[in-house]
């Protein structure tokens, strides 16, 4: 294996590890970093298909860890819009070049960091938000679209959940529940393509195929390892120590995708 290719695989292992750590409720920003890292390693088209089975596996582990520690009512407000957003999102596959997809994913990463830095200031003066369909359906649509073509719904879901002033455990548990539903709703759409069934509303070809599934299987062991690390870190390490590092990494990965700087070449990997 060439050094350059080995470096890409190391980046992908980190992406899978970060999925597990974030799904365990530690450093939620790490989950947002997984998509840009995997895109840098494999390109946007393959990366999206490789990541979804890993995200679904991470959901199973985190659902076990946070079982029942959620505000279930958020599902009825968000999921109707999510279904619509996923159907819209699959229409975007095949319509954009790899460069355009990189740009979209990079912008979402930069938006995420900006939101994380400003959220306390934005929501500080607001009273507790009573969720409902009026806000949930539009948020669900945007979350469904961004999650489908970039696994990038974190800023939208956070904007809906944070104003509710949930406790940390309930907030994390609700996030776990919402993303589990979003990812499992996406899964059938990723496994089917227009080339198989001929339905116009499906993507041109299956996003999850034999190649992406085998690649996902190679990185799967890193997900439960990441969950175990996340649980361990939650008990022993203040998350605030890691937040600046997480946001910096997401920001750099976003800049890499937006600016096409070929960071891997600069680092010699």
| Domain membership of residue 96 as a residue range | 3-267
Look at the chain and count its residues.
Answer: 269
User: 33 or 81: which carries more pLDDT confidence?
Assistant: 81
Q: Judge whether 14 and 177 are in contact, CB under 8 Å.
A: no
| Rounded mean pLDDT, 18-46 | 81
Q: What are the phi and psi torsion angles at 260 (to 5°)?
A: 50, 50
* pLDDT band per the 50, 70, 90 thresholds, residue 267: very low
- Mean pLDDT check: name the lowest of 58-62, 113-117, 158-162, 201-205: 201-205
Q: What is the pLDDT of residues 109-126, one digit of tens each?
A: 888 788 777 776 666 655
Question: 215 vs 51, 112, 133, CA distance in Å?
Answer: 9, 27, 39
Question: 247 vs 18, 35, 45, 261, CA distance in Å?
Answer: 13, 14, 25, 19
Query: In whole angstroms, what separates CA 238 from the centre of its chain?
Result: 23
The DSSP call for residue 162 is G
| Rounded mean pLDDT, 119-148 | 80
**For residue 31, is pLDDT > 90?**
no
Using CA atoms of 6, 8, 11, 13 in order, give the dihedral in degrees to the nearest 10: -60
| Rounded mean pLDDT, 256-261 | 74
DSSP-based three-state secondary structure for 60: helix
Query: In angstroms, rounded to a whole number, what is the distance separating the alpha carbons of residues 38 and 30?
Result: 12
Tokens of 96: 């954009």
The pLDDT value given to residue 122: 62
* pLDDT band per the 50, 70, 90 thresholds, residue 6: confident
The pLDDT value given to residue 130: 75
**For residue 162, is pLDDT > 60?**
yes
DSSP count for the chain of H helices, then E strands: 13, 0
Tokens of 241: 């120590």
The DSSP call for residue 132 is -
* Structural domain count, the chain: 1
- Mean pLDDT check: name the lowest of 61-70, 104-113, 123-132, 248-257: 123-132
The pLDDT value given to residue 132: 87
The pLDDT value given to residue 1: 39
Query: In whole angstroms, what separates CA 93 from the centre of its chain?
Result: 17
* pLDDT band per the 50, 70, 90 thresholds, residue 177: very high
- Residue in the block written with tokens 């700087």: 261
The pLDDT value given to residue 202: 61
The pLDDT value given to residue 3: 40
Closest CA to 188 of 163, 207, 171: 207
Tell me the whole-structure pTM to 2 decimals.
Answer: 0.83
User: 59 or 261: which carries more pLDDT confidence?
Assistant: 59
* pLDDT band per the 50, 70, 90 thresholds, residue 268: very low
Q: Judge whether 148 and 95 are in contact, CB under 8 Å.
A: no
The pLDDT value given to residue 62: 85
Q: State percent of the chain over pLDDT 90.
A: 26
**For residue 243, is pLDDT > 60?**
yes
Q: What is the pLDDT of residues 73-105, one digit of tens each?
A: 999 999 999 999 998 888 877 777 777 777 887
């Amino acid at each position: 294996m060439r050094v350059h290719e080995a470096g890409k695989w190391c980046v992908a292992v980190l992406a899978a590890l970060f999925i597990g750590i974030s799904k365990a409720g530690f450093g939620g920003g790490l989950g947002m970093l997984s998509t840009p890292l995997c895109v840098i390693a494999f390109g946007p088209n393959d990366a999206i298909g490789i990541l979804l089975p890993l995200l679904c596996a991470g959901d199973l582990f985190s659902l076990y860890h946070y079982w029942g520690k959620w505000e279930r009512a958020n599902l009825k407000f968000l999921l109707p819009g999510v279904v619509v957003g996923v159907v819209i999102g699959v229409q975007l596959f095949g319509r954009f070049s790899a460069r355009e997809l990189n740009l979209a994913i990079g912008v979402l990463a930069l938006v995420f960091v900006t939101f994380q830095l400003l959220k306390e200031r934005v929501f500080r003066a607001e009273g507790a938000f009573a969720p409902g369909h009026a806000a949930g359906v539009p948020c669900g649509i945007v979350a469904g679209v961004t999650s489908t073509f970039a696994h990038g719904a974190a800023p939208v879901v956070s904007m809906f959940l944070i104003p509710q002033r949930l406790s940390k455990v309930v907030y994390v548990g609700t996030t776990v529940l919402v993303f589990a539903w979003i990812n499992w709703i996406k899964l059938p759409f990723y496994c089917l393509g227009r080339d198989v069934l001929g339905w116009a509303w499906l993507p041109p070809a299956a996003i999850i195929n034999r190649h992406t599934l085998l690649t996902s299987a190679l990185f799967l062991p890193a997900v439960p390892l990441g969950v175990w690390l996340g649980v361990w870190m939650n008990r022993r390490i203040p998350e605030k120590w890691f937040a600046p590092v997480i946001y910096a990494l997401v920001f750099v990965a976003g800049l890499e995708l937006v600016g096409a700087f070929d960071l891997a070449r600069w680092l010699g990997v």
